[in-house]
Amino acid sequence: MKLAAILLLAASAQAATYYVTVSGLGGEADYEQRFKMWADDIDGSLKKAGGDAKVYTLTAPTKDKVKAQFAEITRLAKPDDALVVMLIGHGSYDGVEYKFNVTGPDLSGAEIASLLDHVPASRQLVVVTTSSSGGSIEFLRRPNRIVVSATKAGSEKNATIFARFWAEALREPAADTDKNESVSALEAFRYAQRKTTEFFETQKRLATEHSVLEDTGKGEGEKDPKPENGQGKLAAAFPVVRIGANAAAARDPNKRPLLDKKEQVENAIDKLKYEKAAMNAADYKKQLTALLVELAKIQEALDK
């Protein structure tokens, strides 16, 4: 994307991000408390992040309650908006269908996909942190949607802890590896994945969950998304939550337009890096230099 087009897009009306976090049915008091705690942790981080965020958190809802929430968002959302859906709880997979456990009849993978498909927001991220969540990928994947799954397959049926570390990534500065005071979907995935791996190693337990990411619309999920395997391009350019100075700027009406421009340029840089291998070296350097110069100018204005 050329710099002029990026700045034109940034100058357009501010887009909103709709966040839906659902803590599902626990079945036992310990799980009920754990799922709600992780969902509340995410809710708090999102509400502190500033900007035009629409935050909805549902605790052990029925299928009808989830559908009603999506119906409201479908009515309100616009094509330029973003949608982030995070499912926390238990899931199941019988070899054919994935199901997310909620109060009453469960939500199937096909039903969740239909709810997402009806929301006009063109940028979408769905994070399925349940057991057997790998079985949901085939239903949820789309060309313009990022799918994060706590397990690589529906056959990993043990209760998961990925949600604990995903929630931590949305408030932990260490997750912001490029130090731009915004945690992208790719950064949050890598942080939660690393912490989950460390948990099993520290506990000296055999890992029963292996998280994957899919953002091409056709893959089965990749444990190590990178340019070489074609996964992670959308996730790298999808900011999930702002932290630090970015969160403060998002709450300042005078600085919000500059922040929007900054994020557009940063996203363009992330996409450009993924396209480097297919580009002429001189053209890549020229485009990257122009973006970095513009980014420095915007940051200077934000720091005033």
Dihedral angle of Cα 286, 287, 293, 296, to the nearest 10 degrees: -150
Which pLDDT band holds residue 292 (cuts at 50, 70, 90)? Answer: confident
Evaluate whether 285 touches 255 at the Cβ level (below 8 Å): no
Distances (CA, A) of 150 to 57, 61, 132, 209, 292: 20, 21, 8, 6, 35
* pLDDT, position 14: 64
Instruction: Tell me the pLDDT tens digit for each residue of 9-35.
Output: 443 446 889 999 999 999 899 999 999
For tokens 């708090």, what's the residue? 44
User: Of the ranges 152-156, 176-180, 294-298, which is most confident?
Assistant: 152-156
DSSP state string for 26-66: -SSHHHHHHHHHHHHHHHHHHHHS-SSEEEEEEES-BHHHH
Q: Are 187 and 176 in contact (CB under 8 A)?
A: yes
pLDDT tens figures, 131-160: 999 999 999 999 999 999 999 999 999 999
Q: Please state which of the ranges 6-20, 47-61, 93-107, 171-185 shows the lowest mean pLDDT.
A: 6-20
Its pTM surpasses 0.85: yes
Residues 234 and 232: their CA atoms lie apart, in Å, by 6
